Structure 1
């Protein structure tokens, strides 16, 4: 990751829930990723199942916009941020937490390093790097023409400063764990050292960092690449930075566009950064505005936006032939999931605190709830094949490490009932609802996000599926939660709402396969608050020196995926595709990694977007 629905939409939702409740289980084929930047044929006609459902495959999309027409000089571009809620407005990479803020950030700021289609860092970004023979020491050189939007050079001191802020005891963002592998970081965080011994400012533009361990993750996402402007934030108390006007109202970066004006939570206008290190962008201005999922199609057809951040794939079949856009597509580095609250966050220690007395502590209960839901049918009925049943917590966007031999937990409500019986969750009073192991009423509180038209029927389907095996599950507060409220209550700020027993969320996974940022015992984003010695061991081995052997690393993550299938602190529901409509006037636009196209390359062929027929 709405509004009031019309009577027809409510009826549609009820019909979908009924359809899903009656649907038989079918296995979808695993899709294969293509983020290589190579153009492919346009989407083929959908296949039609015996049920009459049209199914599409993400394999039939290209991730690069077709070039048609000649670019005009300059021009404007409008980007729709699809959300049913305002973006939070923490507009600095060192502090933001939600994806909506990342969508705002990408236009005016960036990291030093870019990566290729295999998710390996290149030297094509704002900085280059060299590593020592032992793979522990990296020397970074920031390019001479990389400057902040106020004209000040981006320096090695700025990069060091961002590390110091992330490691500060008053830091209130979610990314302190991203810098822990640096020599001297433990002492600095503990307050026993005044400097981080493993970071050396060699010169104004050269920074040297020595890591505790050489890991394969270092060159695929394990380096913190976002500086923090020391000349702006250096004299500010760390606890005040995230709420400062320099983050909220007048943010600064070194990206292709500069922030001009912000209407908090609603829109941002940007102007061209003539001094951008890659060269002046092709556009004069960009406008970002929040678009409700329910009006995305209308906004696209009317030419109110040139493209959107997240087109609701459920709406694709009815709009596949939209005349004024080209649909791009790719396998997303993301998956949807259901998580179980199994502990709390210990803010002082910076670790999860597992609580075996929690309501959802029995792994058999959790596994039974996975078996009770038919995610294959969800993918077909709700998403027409553009999302499909997930099996493990490493998605197929990382094909080397995704274990396609692991079936996860197939839809089997009878097995789910059997597991619940064996675990002691029985219907004591014969009312069709199971009690807990002590014979007391069992009511499971379920947090699920609001969104587009199918958010409500999707949540109700899962509730109904669990009800079919005798579990009483109710929406938290009796309603869906908007994005910011949902993640605050689930634990984004470290404050785990005890009213939440289970929750449905989505992860955008990193370019590196390492899942410790989501499931490590020191990861704030480990919202289930689950820890396990075997989990800790495998996560550590996955980024150890022996993991440089790719085959060994595959074995480690195969074992980890199986462990998570057995323990089920969360279970994946859907692998996701990104389907992105782009107005016909747009040139040099791509989605995914390694395409060689950047936001500064975007151009248009006419002053205003093409309007649909």
Structure 2
């Protein structure tokens, strides 16, 4: 057996022994299939459309199982929430702009029209009369201008104030308290918003610096910005401009919604219930017919188990996210709104980072656990962004001998003969690796990573000796917890493929807290005026791939395929990715139900 696979098998055996001894009940072990895809079963592939037919009932209630191993935090605002479960739950009460297949904003949809003026460096939005809040108040340009006032406010606690927002005329002056208004955001009337940019880059066409959804000025204007994220008008009773309205929140567990009677398009059902369900309970919930739709099925649930469920159809499509390993290389300076790289950080030596990258057998993990649902990543740019992803980008393959050579040459040597290397100063150094809990594979994969790093002589240990719950994990990573040296990262892209949001010096989402001349040069290339020439922009992405490979602030590990499971009482459901020939607008409002209860 290949060494990487052997380590994985040993890690898995350890976890399954704990299960048998009472760590988890045997039924849960049986339902999740035990060791993922290690059985060598053939991969089952799925389509992107569930067409079950039947006659739709009236006034149904859609039941959604949001698969997650942590409670949601309950921040129902696109400008304050930071975790995917909150974003899913908020999506049912918001109406975002629609995009074309290649990611740029459409000229028109049911609620807005848009115009970009490159010469004047402007974005112009016109709001249609169909766009209303759930209390019947029309959505106005003031509601969109309010977004900029929130995000740019000195007391704003979220992460959306970045280089894209700073590119708006007058935004920095407003943020610094030098101006009471943002001069570049204009509302000439209730239906027109004009945003003026300092520089008009191609990424603006994808939404850089543009408020995708409004915030209700008449409802929130009297709440201090520093209190908004925790206020009941965000957490319990948010207004909706989307298809549904929140009626009840069971903190961390469940959200109930009703149809938004003021929504400007037809909503097929009377209500919706979205409930958190742990990955360990997904299959039993399916067998009992609990939900109509299951989001983001975890990779450890086997395709063959999903395919055997007669009351459901499983759908599969490329994810907007990738997985990786990040290094903590500095801190976020909140006063300056920029990354500060620490040359003395424990992981500051690029050779140490390269060695750790070569030590990981990612192909073994993909083969053993994920049935083709994950592939070894060679870039932080996802394949879904076909215009910019380079399938030939240089990557870190599994090569432990090369890893050892790099460490030897960099001065990391085992001085005392205990099998673990001291740093170039001859000092012992323990590297703390932070990883999230959740699902049957989280522990064996994390254990395998640690063991592979131990195999090349590095003293790497799990932070606090255990895996960490999702919400607390991200709180510590975002707060630059000094105990974290290396961490698991899962990053999802929106419509804008520009990597500045995660790697710019001025991006709060730059979690490695790293930048250098080559990265900034590549980002500037991607966002320059010359980049309106597509070939020039692609060249910038190639520069960016090379800069990340050379500096290794992040090790890209896996690209992800998403799966959703649809109950057969759902008449039709479509997750087909849009193309230039056909745009897919199917959404939550379009679901029709054909029975009173989900099928078992």
Give the TM-score taking structure 2 as reference length.
0.91
Matches within 5 A, 1:226-375: 226-279=213-266, 281-319=267-305, 320-375=307-362
In structure 2, what is the Cα distance between the partners aligned to 1:423 and 1:165? Answer: 47
Corresponding residue to 1:154 among 132, 139, 142: 139
- Per the alignment, residue 24 of structure 2 pairs with none
Corresponding residue to 2:377 among 364, 376, 390: 390
- Per the alignment, residue 90 of structure 1 pairs with 75
- Any conservation in 2 of the 1:300–1:307 contact (CA below 8 Å)? no
- Per the alignment, residue 89 of structure 2 pairs with 104
RMSD of aligned residue pairs (Cα, Å): 1.9
Query: Is it true that 1:165 corresponds to 2:154 in the alignment?
Result: no
Corresponding residue to 2:396 among 409, 431, 440: 409
Matches within 5 A, 1:549-568: 549-568=533-552
In structure 1, what is the Cα distance between the partners aligned to 2:532 and 2:47? Answer: 32
- Any conservation in 2 of the 1:339–1:503 contact (CA below 8 Å)? yes
Match of 1:176, SS?
A: coil
- Per the alignment, residue 576 of structure 1 pairs with 560
Query: Is it true that 1:194 corresponds to 2:194 in the alignment?
Result: no
- Per the alignment, residue 587 of structure 2 pairs with 598
Matches within 5 A, 1:480-499: 480-491=467-478, 495-499=479-483
Q: CA deviation at 1:255?
A: 0.4
- Any conservation in 2 of the 1:448–1:481 contact (CA below 8 Å)? yes
- Any conservation in 2 of the 1:353–1:529 contact (CA below 8 Å)? yes
Query: Is it true that 1:610 corresponds to 2:593 in the alignment?
Result: no
Change (3 A) 1:526 1:62: same
Deviations along 1:347-394, one digit per CA (max 9) or x if unpaired, are 111111100101100111101111101111111111111101011110
- Per the alignment, residue 497 of structure 2 pairs with 513
Aligned residues: 564
In structure 1, what is the Cα distance between the partners aligned to 2:265 and 2:465? Answer: 50
Matches within 5 A, 1:60-79: 60-79=45-64
Change (3 A) 1:302 1:158: same
In structure 2, what is the Cα distance between the partners aligned to 1:275 and 1:227? Answer: 16
Deviations along 1:532-555, one digit per CA (max 9) or x if unpaired, are 122112112211111111111111
Q: CA deviation at 1:125?
A: 4.8
In structure 1, what is the Cα distance between the partners aligned to 2:73 and 2:14? Answer: 34
Deviations along 1:133-159, one digit per CA (max 9) or x if unpaired, are 526212101110211111111110011
Query: Is it true that 1:537 corresponds to 2:521 in the alignment?
Result: yes
Change (3 A) 1:427 1:444: same
Q: Which runs of 5+ in 2 are unaligned?
A: 1-8, 18-36
In structure 2, what is the Cα distance between the partners aligned to 1:528 and 1:12? Answer: 28
Q: CA deviation at 1:286?
A: 0.6
Q: CA deviation at 1:265?
A: 0.9
Q: CA deviation at 1:117?
A: 2.4
Deviations along 1:317-340, one digit per CA (max 9) or x if unpaired, are 341222111111111010001000
Change (3 A) 1:243 1:120: same
- Per the alignment, residue 45 of structure 1 pairs with none
In structure 1, what is the Cα distance between the partners aligned to 2:41 and 2:544? Answer: 35
Deviations along 1:238-291, one digit per CA (max 9) or x if unpaired, are 111111110111112200001010001110000011221122x11111101110
Match of 1:313, SS?
A: coil
- Per the alignment, residue 27 of structure 2 pairs with none
Corresponding residue to 2:416 among 429, 432, 435: 429
In structure 2, what is the Cα distance between the partners aligned to 1:16 and 1:134? Answer: 61
Match of 1:274, SS?
A: coil
In structure 1, what is the Cα distance between the partners aligned to 2:251 and 2:288? Answer: 25
Corresponding residue to 2:125 among 126, 136, 140: 140
- Per the alignment, residue 21 of structure 1 pairs with none
Corresponding residue to 1:121 among 105, 109, 124: 105
- Per the alignment, residue 29 of structure 1 pairs with none
More divergent stretch after superposition (406-415 vs 67-76): 67-76
Give the TM-score taking structure 1 as reference length.
0.89
- Per the alignment, residue 34 of structure 2 pairs with none
- Any conservation in 2 of the 1:270–1:285 contact (CA below 8 Å)? yes
- Any conservation in 2 of the 1:179–1:224 contact (CA below 8 Å)? no
More divergent stretch after superposition (121-130 vs 101-110): 121-130
Change (3 A) 1:587 1:543: farther
Corresponding residue to 1:459 among 446, 456, 461: 446
- Any conservation in 2 of the 1:282–1:601 contact (CA below 8 Å)? yes
- Any conservation in 1 of the 2:53–2:572 contact (CA below 8 Å)? no
Q: Which runs of 5+ in 1 are unaligned?
A: 1-9, 19-48
Corresponding residue to 2:461 among 444, 463, 474: 474
In structure 2, what is the Cα distance between the partners aligned to 1:291 and 1:478? Answer: 26
In structure 1, what is the Cα distance between the partners aligned to 2:188 and 2:43? Answer: 53
- Any conservation in 2 of the 1:74–1:603 contact (CA below 8 Å)? no
- Any conservation in 2 of the 1:587–1:603 contact (CA below 8 Å)? yes
- Any conservation in 2 of the 1:181–1:212 contact (CA below 8 Å)? yes
Deviations along 1:518-568, one digit per CA (max 9) or x if unpaired, are 111111111111111221121122111111111111111111111101100
- Per the alignment, residue 39 of structure 1 pairs with none
- Any conservation in 1 of the 2:111–2:129 contact (CA below 8 Å)? no
- Any conservation in 1 of the 2:362–2:376 contact (CA below 8 Å)? yes
